[in-house]
Structure 1
Amino acid sequence: MREEDFYEIARPRGEMDWIERYRGWNIAAVGWGLAPTASKLTRADLTLASSPIFSNGYLSELNNPYDDFGSAVNAAMRLNLKLKDELAIVSDVATGMRGVFQYYPGDRIQTNPSGDELILVADNIPKDLDRELEPYGEVSRDWNRLEDATVLIIRTDRKLDADDFSRAPMLKLIITATHGLDHIDIEEAKRRAVIVERAPVRARAVAELALGIILALARGIAYSDRKMRGLEWVKGRVRGFELAGRRVGVISMGIVGREVAEVLKGIGMHVDYYDRYRTGGRSLERLLRESDIVVLTSPLTEETRGLIGRREIAMMKDGAILVNVGRGELLDLDVALEALETGKLGGLGLDVYPREPPFGDEAFERLRNMDNVILTPHLGGSSEEAERRIVSEVLGIMGKWFGRRSEISRDISALGSLNPI
């Protein structure tokens, strides 16, 4: 359809009396002609649109920022802090989403949020959380009940792909006790109007593990321990270096990266960072060329997958140390192995792997026999303090979305009875 033709469709055809019927409601208006029209005529607090989307030309002024229903409805939910069963969606085309209340222009609108929540909790989430969640609904760790679940609380070992979402038609909210989201199909969550929240409480624990790995490599601690256990005295063969005054480059200055930087600055290291989304850092090339130690803390996205490969390792200082506490897929392990064997890399520390556990992988089998390598089993976020923070963070998120549920229900009921539209 040409832009000119769409403009004619979107143009108001006289007075839209039905708009006045929704006074007092927050409206998420999505659809072809409705959203541009409503954005000009209504007092709605929120007006969003579905396809078609125009990024330039005169139609770009018609308040049409979203090109799919899921993104529009997710924005509406976040703006109003209402999950999809609490949100009235006025649309002149079908959304195709389950669990939402959709109405056509002029329809009488009413929502009736369900109070029957089934909260599924992953096995590796602290058990203390279960009792605290009981005021919000039934709490279970039986994942055979996925089809009835409305809330999921997970960590990285619980993957959620499109098939899982299709098995969970009642799902409204996912809380993941992680910093990254690569274990969740975010696009599928948007398409189904499922809110995804993070509880990023492990940054300090990850940062301190990174420091431990760096110290172990810089001073030959793990190597010396292995030799001592084999009754081999290697005092004359181990010569490490002190960290104070050395330059470290942190790749990604997110929550974890900032904690890593703070910890390493605290022992006197010079800290630089690369982050394409933050100002004030260095270019990746300069950071790699100038750093004695490089620490990967990035989340996994399509942009960061394979971030450090042959070209990047070639830029690094000879004998530099590389530590990965981000995601395994950030680093090309085969290239790192070659660099260790040639001496280009002086040491490698890994807490994360492309496949977990990595046992049996060819690269891992070669790495575990090398003296200048530290391998830990993705335990960066595992600390007593982090476990306690998970409970409080998850409860805070639940309170944000469900804490006023009964009050909201009363308000909606009262509004519907006073103004039965």
Structure 2
Amino acid sequence: MRPTVLVTAPRLAAAGVDVLRQAGARVVYTTRPDDAGEIEALMASEPIDAVISRTVQLSGKAIDACPTLKVISKHGVGVSNIDVAAATARGIPVFMTPGANAASVAELALGLMLAAARHVGYMHGELQAGRWTRKQDGIELRGRTLGLVGFGQVAQRLSRIALAMDMQVLAFDPALQNKPSPVPGVSLQPSLDALLPQADVLSLHVPLTERTRGMVGARELALLPPGAILVNTARGEVVDEPALVAALERGALHAAGLDTMAVEPLPAGHALARLPNVVLTPHVGGSTPAALAAMASGAAHNVLQWLDGKPVSAQLCVNPETLTEKAL
């Protein structure tokens, strides 16, 4: 019997569709990209075997409503929109696709860093408005120190680029304590507090967990050097946004480059959108065609392998306690 796979988005990249089609899977899509209620209704009414989760909330209610559900795979790596605890209680593994979008996110982080340093977004807007506003207080990054919070595949890629730009690079990642740096030339720091006072540019690369929620607040921002830059391509909730706005408004920070916000889509008139020293993009770090294809095919392979009873790497699973002999 062919499996039914729910994709929590109106479409999936062709690379993923091809994998599912070749396996004979029936694919069900949501039609409204931000409607968690639609997902709950579909899972209560359809015999869903697997879910490929994009950005919409996959709630415990939705998971519990679907007795046929056997496996979930995130289209990416951040699982904060999935009720992992509810899946674990049902014995349902939740997989992810690490590395599939690493190059895409790292390159956008670099772009935000450069744009924030030189006020590119502000001057672009001024020119569009017919004003020849030449801000000349931009920061050269050569010789500056980049501080990376989280040192997984995205941050490691970004670190190599920064080193090539003659920046100093520091990183803090609790998972790498007492271990050698995976990137030569990058100095691992013993704590976030040790990293912050040295970071002319602070770039965030951590998942959203209860430990990381609000981890960069007023206290942490005050520890940064005067005129530092904050870049966030991780999750908006990692940063205390009112504290960030206050630091930007009083000039304690030079600028910020943000691909993620605490509330998405960003509400109209939000303070972050009004500040001239903020560069914003709408959570598109991993949304290049190449990254979308890699995430789609990876997520499709994850769910099909599990459904077929084939070995699946435990390194791809965020709740490995649900794995059985099918895990590697």
Q: Distance in 2 between matches of 1:233 and 1:155?
A: 41
Structure 2 residue 15 is the aligned partner of structure 1 residue 117: no
Tell me by how many angstroms 1:253 deviates.
1.0
Number of the residue aligned with 1:155: 54
Work out which of the residue numbers 262, 274, 282 in structure 2 matches 1:377: 282
Tell me by how many angstroms 1:164 deviates.
0.8
1:349-387 deviation line (CA, Å, top 9, x unaligned): 111111111214xxx622222111101100111101102
Work out which of the residue numbers 7, 14, 17 in structure 2 matches 1:130: 17
2:89 maps to a residue whose letter is R
Q: Distance in 2 between matches of 1:355 and 1:136?
A: 38
Structure 2 residue 291 is the aligned partner of structure 1 residue 393: no
Q: How does 1:11-22 map to 2 (within 5 A)?
A: none
Larger radius of gyration: 1
1:311-346 deviation line (CA, Å, top 9, x unaligned): 101111111001111101100111111111111111
Q: Distance in 2 between matches of 1:374 and 1:202?
A: 21
1:131-161 deviation line (CA, Å, top 9, x unaligned): 43132532222555423101011212x2112
Q: Distance in 1 between matches of 2:275 and 2:83?
A: 36
Instruction: Give the percent of matched residue pairs that are identical in Structure 1 and Structure 2.
Output: 33
Tell me by how many angstroms 1:128 deviates.
4.5
Number of the residue aligned with 2:65: 167
Q: TM-score, normalised by structure 1?
A: 0.64
Tell me by how many angstroms 1:397 deviates.
2.0
Q: Distance in 2 between matches of 1:300 and 1:395?
A: 24
Structure 2 residue 43 is the aligned partner of structure 1 residue 146: yes
Q: TM-score, normalised by structure 2?
A: 0.82
Q: Distance in 2 between matches of 1:251 and 1:124?
A: 33
CA 232–188 in structure 1, closer or farther in 2 if over 3 Å, else same: same
1:98-141 deviation line (CA, Å, top 9, x unaligned): xxxxxxxxxxxxxxxxx442111232431453343132532222
Work out which of the residue numbers 217, 220, 242 in structure 2 matches 1:312: 220
Work out which of the residue numbers 145, 169, 175 in structure 2 matches 1:277: 175
Work out which of the residue numbers 232, 244, 257 in structure 1 matches 2:131: 232
Number of the residue aligned with 1:221: 120
1:167-213 deviation line (CA, Å, top 9, x unaligned): 11110010111211111111111110111110131111111111111
Work out which of the residue numbers 244, 254, 257 in structure 2 matches 1:349: 257
Instruction: Supply the RMSD in Å over aligned alpha carbons.
Output: 1.9
Highest RCO, 1 vs 2 (Cα 8 Å, sep ≥ 6): 2
Which 4+ residue blocks in structure 1 deviate beyond 6 angstroms?
Answer: none
Segment drifting more, 165-174 vs 260-269: 260-269
Number of the residue aligned with 1:181: 79
CA 399–119 in structure 1, closer or farther in 2 if over 3 Å, else same: closer
2:264 maps to a residue whose letter is E
Q: Distance in 2 between matches of 1:208 and 1:242?
A: 18
Q: Tell me, yes or no, if the aligned pair for 1:206 and 1:380 is still in contact at 8 Å.
A: yes
Q: Distance in 2 between matches of 1:395 and 1:137?
A: 10
Structure 2 residue 248 is the aligned partner of structure 1 residue 340: yes
Q: Distance in 1 between matches of 2:101 and 2:126?
A: 33
Q: Tell me, yes or no, if the aligned pair for 1:125 and 1:154 is still in contact at 8 Å.
A: no
Q: Unaligned 5+ residue runs, structure 1?
A: 1-114, 406-421
Q: Tell me, yes or no, if the aligned pair for 1:324 and 1:350 is still in contact at 8 Å.
A: yes
Q: Tell me, yes or no, if the aligned pair for 1:125 and 1:155 is still in contact at 8 Å.
A: no
1:355 maps to a residue whose letter is V
1:57-86 deviation line (CA, Å, top 9, x unaligned): xxxxxxxxxxxxxxxxxxxxxxxxxxxxxx
Q: Distance in 1 between matches of 2:84 and 2:304?
A: 23
Q: Tell me, yes or no, if the aligned pair for 2:72 and 2:303 is still in contact at 8 Å.
A: no
Number of the residue aligned with 1:247: 145
CA 404–168 in structure 1, closer or farther in 2 if over 3 Å, else same: closer
Number of the residue aligned with 1:291: 199
CA 141–252 in structure 1, closer or farther in 2 if over 3 Å, else same: same
SS of structure 2 residue aligned to 1:174 = strand
Q: Distance in 2 between matches of 1:399 and 1:186?
A: 19
CA 175–313 in structure 1, closer or farther in 2 if over 3 Å, else same: same
Q: Tell me, yes or no, if the aligned pair for 1:175 and 1:394 is still in contact at 8 Å.
A: yes
Number of the residue aligned with 1:258: 156
Q: Unaligned 5+ residue runs, structure 2?
A: 31-38, 181-187, 311-328
Q: Distance in 2 between matches of 1:366 and 1:154?
A: 30
1:139 maps to a residue whose letter is V
Segment drifting more, 189-198 vs 392-401: 392-401
